[in-house]
Amino acid sequence: MTRLDIQISVEEGDWPSEDTLQAMAERVLGDAADFLVTELSQPFPAMQPELSLVFTDDASIREINAEWRQQDKPTNVLSFPAFPLAPGGMPGPMLGDIIIARETVEREAADLDKSLDEHLTHLLVHGFLHLFGYDHMNDADAEMMEGLETRILARLGLSDPYAGQDPV
């Protein structure tokens, strides 16, 4: 298993304990990292790469989204790579930060008729892929990224979150 140094911070919101989130993140992101290595030959630094996960609420993520993306609204997940990286490139020892908002995740999970854990798993994988240079700014990139997410989630025993949808 590809090892990651995952730093967890629960800043706002009604999240499970840091220990619970840590265990989930290690399982989900460890599987995602293994997928990248085995299926895509993604290189990893010799040093165990680090990333931080920040669990917060809609109010906090709205401020961050407004400041960094000029979108004054809450969102489910934001990713901030530590260094620019093209898919397949060698990351540095610090991968970056992933920030997730509780209320939006809960609302979306209910709308999708999924458990909070299942939707959170999807968003962790989504945010993680952003740290490796994957994006969904155009249809081709969205199709690639969504395909990777679907394959990683299948390894985790979860269904295709995009079934029946066009790439976004």
The predicted pLDDT at position 163 comes to: 79
Per-residue pLDDT of the chain (168 residues; tens, 9 = 90+): 678 999 999 999 899 999 999 999 999 999 999 999 999 999 999 889 999 999 999 999 999 999 999 999 999 999 999 999 999 999 999 999 999 999 999 999 999 999 999 999 999 999 999 999 999 988 888 899 999 999 999 999 998 888 766 544
Q: What is the pLDDT of residue 20?
A: 96
What gap in Å lies between CA 114 and CA 125, rounded to an integer? 16
Residue ranges and CATH numbers for the domains of the chain are: 5-155 (3.40.390.30)
> Alpha-carbon distance 28 to 32, whole Å?
6
Tell me, what's the pLDDT at 166?
55
Tell me the pLDDT tens digit for each residue of 85-100.
Answer: 999 999 999 999 999 9
DSSP label at residue 136: -
Q: Which residue has the tokens 């700014």?
A: 137
Helix extents (H) in the chain: 18-40, 58-69, 102-112, 116-131, 139-155
